[in-house]
Amino acid sequence: MHFPIMKHIMTLLAGLLWAAAVSAAERPNFVIFYVDDLGWADTSVRMMDSDPNSASDFHQTPHLAALAKRGMKFSNAYAPAPTCTPSRKSIQFGKTPGRLGYTFVHDVLALQRKLEWKDETSLADVVKAADPKYITAHFGKGMGNERMETIGYDVTDELEPHGDNGNFHGDYISLKNRTKLPPDNPKRMASLRKSSVDFVNAHSGKRPFLMMVSHYAVHVPHAARADLIEKYRKLPRGKHLTDSDYLPVDEMPKGKVISSWRLQYAAMLEECDEGLGAIVAALKKTEQLDNTIIIFTSDNGGGLGPNGTLRGGKANLYEGGLRVPFVVAGPGVKAGVQCDVPVSQWDLLPTIHDYAKSAQPLPKDLDGASLRGVFEQGNGAKVKRPVEGLVFHYPCYFAPPLTVIRLGDYKLMEHHLSGEQKLFNVKTDYAEQTNLIESMPEKASELRTVMMRYLDSIDAEDVQDVYKARFAELDRFEAMARQNHAKSIERAKGDQQLITAADAKLKEQLERFTRNRKECRANMQGKTF
């Protein structure tokens, strides 16, 4: 009598087990390839087909070009901020830097408040909630002084346990002794290539994985392999190169060598591209390429410039500081097309949540939304975020403090202190040449209402509080410098040479603090942007 019921139960269980097995098998791997300070127009891939200036005529990124051919490129992709640290937090947690309370590099107010983000839901947390078999890795530049292992990553290449996980080990083997990297491993590019390929080989096809490869290149100080520099020396000259790029290194100003030598920059970017190609090759070898979603992008707009047709660059909120290259390929992604839908990196957490088939609800206070529909349908799809528009809050002390909103085709920029506004149609005028603020006051008012409503909802950092925190920090630095100087004088015990050195050091520090204060006061005057 119970046999039919039992049979039904067994059939149901078998079905559930089969479904679970299928689901697990279908769960994709994720690779996020994150480059530092790479401009929208710095690669050899046109981010906008109609604009030849949206790609470089000199840089060679063949592996990225192959990825774009297999997948989709975005003409309107945005970094969360025009500088690195806030972007690197935002991409991990699916929230704007404004909501996270860390909006610019060295956010003094966040540091003063001793904010932490270890309890936020991260990309690593999302995939593990979907399937505990997921293994997660983060290689390269982190998100400030927090270690990636504290937000769910199983495998990292972090150095000293108590060392800063910020910018430094892109230039040094060790943070403790500042041992320089060897010539064949500039900016740890070779190390990152090895770490990422080894990870793929170890886990691909055995466990689903999420891997973020976060480069220190192409950030200053620039460094590149000699063989690649020589390769570019022999290529036809690009339109932005000058005679000085071809001088012997010992004849160049030091500043140019480390920050604007375009042969070196091109070589550095190509080595990053080689790292991307090595990951793709490893995935292909392990038969996981077709089951891996690969995302290539940058943490902010270009620092070298010019940024193609775009205005501005790193550290400002014009399109050149925010718009970045963005290419995605993987299962279901429409191949070989350009997408013009505006997207942001805080959309990636809900996107990965969607693809990983997680049953765990997303946090309710996210700013992003899944891009899966856009990846699979292109321009025919829409992104339904829980908030209106894309808001970039930047109340910093070392540049004009602004908040920007992009809503539809329009972008409003507002200075926190002067109240100055600029309005652009960034669909038709993405070079931001025509300020519409006087001709379209109603549109500006519409965007400002949405922007202010968002800032109020997140209790956004106030620029006056930022300045107070910065001046307090400089006062503290000065007091410490004077205390250290007094100790140095005491230790010198009358040795005039040591006293002179200590006096010179203090003088240099005080001059720097004076410059820092002057810079702050100048920005506080609300000068135009």
Establish if 191 belongs to a structural domain.
yes
pLDDT in tens, 414-440: 999 999 999 999 999 999 999 999 999
pLDDT band at 170 (very low <50, low <70, confident <90, very high): confident
Residue closest to 339 by CA, chosen among 45, 78, 73: 73
Phi, psi of 316 (to 5 degrees): -130, 170
**Phi-psi sector, 188: left (phi>0), alpha (psi -120 to 50), beta:** left
Whether 181 and 327 map to the same domain: the answer is: yes
* CATH code of residue 193: 3.40.720.10
Which comes out higher in pLDDT, residue 165 or 204? 204
pLDDT of residue 167: 59
268 pLDDT exceeds 50? yes
Residue closest to 84 by CA, chosen among 385, 300, 295, 228: 300
Whether 266 and 363 map to the same domain: the answer is: yes
pLDDT band at 382 (very low <50, low <70, confident <90, very high): very high
pLDDT of residue 164: 57
Whether 449 and 470 map to the same domain: the answer is: no
Whether 168 and 302 map to the same domain: the answer is: yes
pLDDT of residue 163: 57
The gap from C-alpha 50 to its chain's centroid, in whole angstroms, comes to 26
Establish if 195 belongs to a structural domain.
yes
pLDDT of residue 166: 57
Average pLDDT of the residues in 511-517: 97
Residue 48 in tokens? 């906008």
Please, which contacts does 49-56 make with residues 24 or more away whose CB atoms are closer than 8 Å? 49/338, 51/308, 51/309, 53/308, 53/309, 54/308, 54/309, 55/308, 56/238, 56/266
In angstroms, the CA 224 to CA 307 distance is: 21
Residue 384 three-state SS: coil
Whether 202 and 225 map to the same domain: the answer is: yes
Establish if 154 belongs to a structural domain.
yes
Establish if 334 belongs to a structural domain.
yes
Whether 442 and 473 map to the same domain: the answer is: no
Establish if 17 belongs to a structural domain.
no
pLDDT in tens, 215-250: 999 999 999 999 999 999 999 999 999 999 999 999
Q: Which among 386, 418, 447 is the end of a domain?
A: 386
pLDDT band at 25 (very low <50, low <70, confident <90, very high): low
Question: In the chain, how many domains are there?
Answer: 3
Whether 408 and 381 map to the same domain: the answer is: no
Which comes out higher in pLDDT, residue 176 or 44? 44
Whether 364 and 409 map to the same domain: the answer is: no
Strand order in the sheet with 29-35: 155-156, 135-140, 209-214, 29-35, 292-298, 326-329, 72-74, 337-339
Phi, psi of 441 (to 5 degrees): -65, -35
The gap from C-alpha 12 to its chain's centroid, in whole angstroms, comes to 46
Whether 280 and 421 map to the same domain: the answer is: no
pLDDT in tens, 102-140: 999 999 999 999 999 999 999 999 999 999 999 999 999
In angstroms, the CA 258 to CA 219 distance is: 10
CB proximity list for 40: less than 8 A, separation 6 or greater: 47, 54, 301, 302, 307, 308, 310, 319, 320, 323, 324, 325
Burial level of 167, CB count in 10 A (0-12/13-18/19+)? middle
pLDDT of residue 2: 43
Task: Give the Å distances, CA to CA, from 327 to 38, 107, 402.
Answer: 13, 30, 28
pLDDT in tens, 133-161: 999 999 999 998 788 999 999 999 988 76
Establish if 332 belongs to a structural domain.
yes
pLDDT in tens, 441-500: 999 999 999 999 999 999 999 999 999 999 999 999 999 999 999 999 999 999 999 999
Whether 65 and 82 map to the same domain: the answer is: yes
Peptide bond into 221 cis (omega under 30): yes
61 pLDDT exceeds 50? yes
Q: Residue holding tokens 């992604």?
A: 333
In angstroms, the CA 415 to CA 420 distance is: 5
Establish if 188 belongs to a structural domain.
yes
Residue closest to 397 by CA, chosen among 456, 474, 321: 474
Establish if 220 belongs to a structural domain.
yes
Question: Per this entry, what is the length of the chain?
Answer: 529
- Provide the β-strand partners of residue 339: 74
- Which H helix or E strand runs over 298? strand 292-298
pLDDT of residue 146: 83
Mean pLDDT of the chain: 93
Instruction: Give the residue numbers spanning the domain of 436.
Output: 400-457
Helices 262-285, 189-203: crossing angle, 10 deg rounding: 10
Average pLDDT of the residues in 339-357: 98
* CATH code of residue 418: 3.30.1120.10
Whether 411 and 361 map to the same domain: the answer is: no
First CA to last CA across the chain, in angstroms?
A: 82
Whether 206 and 74 map to the same domain: the answer is: yes
